[in-house]
Amino acid sequence: MPPASNILTLHYTPPYDWGRFRAFIEKRLIHGIEWLDDHSYGRTFRLHETSGCFTARHHAPDHAFIVKVEANCDPSALALITTNIRRVLDLNAESRLIDQHLQNSYPFGNRFLPGIRIPRCWGVFEAGVRAILGQQVSVAAATALTRVLVSQYGEAYGDAHLFPTPHILANAALHEIRLPARRKAAIAQLASFCLAHPEAVPKQWQHLKGIGPWTVDYARIRGEGAPDVFLAGDLGVRRKLTQLSLDIDSSDIHQWGSYLTFQLWYLETPTDE
């Protein structure tokens, strides 16, 4: 039976910098599970026993995304899917409040970018795997590795794929992935741990070999949606702090640290939109 279609209108409180949100995804787009054009983003997903896909089209005049969800599910499952789409698109962020805090707390001056939102993965396991694949390599290299992983181990969904499950990756040799053995082992360990502890959160991964603080924090930001994680040790963040002569104490508690991190990352991403 073909999946049922549902059209949703998901509003947000402006500002929303779609141009930089889109540019971040474009550099990391995983063909096979994600698609992107000038005004929309979509992907496949799995939520418990439900598989499906969505495409969200930005409609700036209404401060909303028009979202087409294709999945065979009951209303309660659709409600959970909708909640996760809102998290993926970061629609619940109160940008004015966040922007005011960051501008008042850090000397960005006229370099500040209003309306920053954080593009998120569908879940913490995907974010964790993508973080491991991104350890000590460029964004382009990490994206290429993830694309191979999806094409080789992702379950088919029509003409697309689903992101590989913990069950699949816990037992995968990953011969097709040009990756050091220790990182392959880290993916297998993470998958096994998530199988045994499906409700575990990234902070509980730190005892796993090959998963350090950066990987955990990345998964917290892009998987959990944690707002307060400042990636002080990230190479791109350190470089941007130096370029901008910003002195930010990494030992402080940063209420909106995740948005501070992306503010610095996005400053490296020009956009014409």
**Which stretch of 12-16, 147-151, 230-234 has the lowest confidence by average pLDDT?**
230-234
pLDDT tens for 140-178 read 999 999 999 999 999 999 999 999 999 999 999 999 999
Cβ contact 193:200 at 8 Å:
yes
CA-based nearest residue to 51, from 172, 165, 194, 139: 165
Cα-flanking dihedrals φ and ψ of residue 18, to 5°?
-65, -35
Provide the pLDDT for residue 268. 62
Within 106-256, where are the H helices? 124-133, 139-153, 166-170, 181-196, 213-219, 235-243
Provide the pLDDT for residue 260: 95
Contacts of 201 (CB under 8 A, 6+ apart): 124, 220, 224
In the chain, how many H helices and how many E strands?
10, 7
Tell me the mean pLDDT in the region 59-84: 96
Say what the pTM is: 0.94
Q: Which residues contact 271 (CB under 8 A, 6 or more apart)?
A: 17, 19, 20, 22, 23
pLDDT tens digits for 121-139? 999 999 999 999 999 999 9
pLDDT of 247 > 90? The answer is: no
Contact (Cβ atoms closer than 8 angstroms) between residue 10 and residue 64? yes
pLDDT, position 270: 46
> Which H or E element spans position 59?
strand 50-59
- Contact predicate 39/26, CB 8 Å: no
Residue 272 has pLDDT above 50, yes or no: no
Query: What is the pLDDT at residue 271?
Result: 47
